[in-house]
Amino acid sequence: MIKDYRKERWKPFLLGEADYDTEDVQVSNYGRVKRKRKDETFDLVKFTKTGKFNMFWYLRKDGKKRTYYVHRAVANLFLDNQEDKRFVIHEDHDLENNYYKNLKWVNQKELTQHQMSNPIRQEKRVTHSKLTEGKVRLLKRKINDPNRRTRLKMIAKQFGISEMQLYRIKSGENWGNVTEY
């Protein structure tokens, strides 16, 4: 027997192509899935993973198995999608947390913004730049000094970068975000 969490609600997973004569599938607002075949009792479904998302399978009327994302099933059953948004996101970026209050329907633009703010993505961002922000400030001061006597080629050599890189920094193409120098 399955013990329910506090305030856990179950709803039947109804899809047009699913075979309801053979099995009954229910999804909870906590992101758990249970299945009952014919005269058996309900058992919790063990999820499979595709990428980083939890999935479960169900039987179609033609006898073939079909998989479905758990977070999409929870969102379809427990969240309103009034604006016909196509994507479901995990607000805390934890793909294991399929609780309905952690899920949200979004459009493509909102999905992209959400992914850009993902802390895991931020950690993976590695910079292999030769210069730091402080060095760029010093470099820009030297380049833009009206009394400069050092050629740009020599400044580039001092900082260990190419002349082309120096010209790109000067024009703002590279390191354009560093404006105070």
**What are the tens digits of pLDDT across the range 156-174?**
999 999 999 999 999 999 9
Q: Which CATH class is domain 10-124?
A: alpha beta
CA 50 to chain centre: 14
In contact, 168 and 174? CB cutoff 8 Å = yes
pLDDT tens per residue, range 73-130: 999 999 998 888 999 999 999 999 999 999 999 999 999 999 988 887 766 665 678 8
Measure the CA–CA gap between 6 and 102, rounded to whole angstroms.
17
* The pLDDT value given to residue 122: 65
| Pairing status of strand 103-106 against strand 53-59 | unpaired
Distance CA 176, CA 173 (A): 6
Digit-coded pLDDT (tens) for 25-78: 999 999 999 999 888 889 999 999 988 899 999 888 888 999 999 999 999 999
Over the stretch 136-154, which tens digit does the pLDDT of each residue have? 999 999 999 999 999 999 9
Q: What pLDDT, on a 0 to 100 scale, did the predictor assign at position 73?
A: 94
Q: Are 159 and 139 in contact (CB under 8 A)?
A: yes
**Taking the model in full, what pTM does it have?**
0.66
Give the pLDDT score at 129: 82
| pLDDT score at 176 | 87
In the chain, where are the structural domains located? Answer: 10-124, 133-171
Q: Identity (one letter) of the amino acid at 133? A: E
